Amino acid sequence: MNRGEDRLDEAPENTEMFLDTFVPYVMYRITNRLNKELQKDLRPLNINVSRWRVLAALNKQDGRTMSELGDFTMIEQSSLSRVVDTMVEEGLVTRRLKQDDHRFVHVFLTDEGLAKYREIYPSAFSRQDMILDEFTEDEQDMLLEFLQRIEANIRRHRDQPPPSTIE
């Protein structure tokens, strides 16, 4: 059942109530609040959320291209370049040109970057544990599965226009 199609002819009377049930907005609100809390957690460790994302992405797969890093971390390319510049200056990452194609720059964790990731990891994941505190393990698995399905649907439909509401 596509609940959105059922609502096409209904203009929301109460925008606040509409936003409370509008999945993209609820997800945005959750992400925004989590990032604010995570930023507070990371501040004493002298790192911000963007740099944490890059460290985590490179810990998962070192040597990503800037494009891959942008896709994985969801950081816009122009902002990502500044983030990586700062991280290079701090000694957390290095950049290297791809051997056979100098158009591609790969980013690698340094020993200092890996140490910083390991220092931050407990703080970052304790925040996740806090927000999932009252969920059973099965519910946590189900939530993750639902979120991954939403992400897959977004990818599958990303080049398609939304259904027309104008007749």
CATH label of the domain that carries residue 37:
1.10.10.10
The pLDDT score that the predictor gives to residue 2 is 56
Q: Is the pLDDT of residue 166 over 60?
A: no
The average confidence (pLDDT) of the chain is 88
The pLDDT score that the predictor gives to residue 160 is 83
Does residue 7 fall inside a structural domain? no
The pLDDT score that the predictor gives to residue 159 is 83
CB-based contact 75:50 (threshold 8 Å): yes
Does residue 129 fall inside a structural domain? yes
- Residue whose tokens read 């290297």: 96
Does residue 68 fall inside a structural domain? yes
DSSP-assigned beta bridge partners for residue 108: 94
Give the chain's length.
Answer: 167
Q: Is the pLDDT of residue 80 over 60?
A: yes
DSSP-assigned beta bridge partners for residue 97: 105
Average pLDDT over residues 108-132: 93
Number of domains, the chain = 1
Residue 109 to residue 89: CA distance in whole angstroms: 13
* Alpha helices, DSSP H, located in 61-157: 66-73, 77-89, 111-131, 137-157
Q: Is the pLDDT of residue 35 over 80?
A: yes
Does residue 77 fall inside a structural domain? yes
Residues 2/6/8/9 CA torsion (nearest 10 deg): 170
Chain-centre distance of CA 11, in angstroms? 31
In this predicted structure, which of 2-16, 84-98, 122-136 has the lowest mean pLDDT? 2-16
Between 77 and 3, residue with greater pLDDT:
77
Q: Is the pLDDT of residue 3 over 70?
A: no
Residue 73 to residue 3: CA distance in whole angstroms: 30
- Range(s) of the domain holding residue 35: 12-136
The pLDDT score that the predictor gives to residue 20 is 84
